[in-house]
Copies of this chain bind each other. A is one copy, B any other.
Amino acid sequence: MDVLKTNGVRRTNWGRWGESDELGALNLLTPERVLAALQIPKTGKTYSLSIPIQRSGVPNFEYRGTPMRLTTMNHTDEYMAQANGGVPGVGASEDQLIMPSHTSTHMDSLCHVYSDSTIYNGYPHDSVSSYGGAAKCSIDKVGGFAGRGVLIDVAAALGTNCLAPDHVITPDELRTALAAQKVELAAGDLVLIRTGWIEAFLANPGDTMPQPGLGLDAATFLAGHDVSLVGADNSAIEAIPFDQGVYLGGHIVLLVDHGIHLVENLNLQELSADKCYEFFLSIGALKITGGTASPVTPVAIG
Hey, which bits of chain A sit against chain B, CB under 8 A? 1, 29-35, 38-39, 41, 43-56, 62-66, 68-77, 79-81, 84-87, 89-102, 104, 111-117, 125-126, 128-134, 140, 143-146, 242, 245, 247-248, 251-252, 280, 282-293, 295-301
Contact = CB atoms under 8 A, between A and B. Distances in A.
A72 B131 contact: yes
Contacts of A84: 247
A69 B290 contact: yes
Consensus secondary structure, chain A interface? mixed
A57 to B, nearest CB: 9
Contacts of A91: 113-114, 125
Given A90-B247, A297-B287, A97 B97 contact: yes
Contacts of A288: 52-54, 69, 95, 97
Q: Count the copies.
A: 4
B66 A65 contact: yes
B63 A65 contact: no
A89 B65 contact: no
Contact of A55 (B62, B89, B128): B62
A65 B55 CA distance: 8
Given A76-B130, A301-B34, A286 B53 contact: yes
Given A81-B247, A94-B112, A113-B92, A1 B41 contact: no
Contact of A126 (B35, B46, B75): B75
What 6 pairs across the A-B complex have the smallest Cβ distances?
Answer: A31-B44, A48-B143, A144-B299, A284-B297, A86-B247, A35-B44
Contacts of A143: 48, 50, 297
Nearest to A2: B87
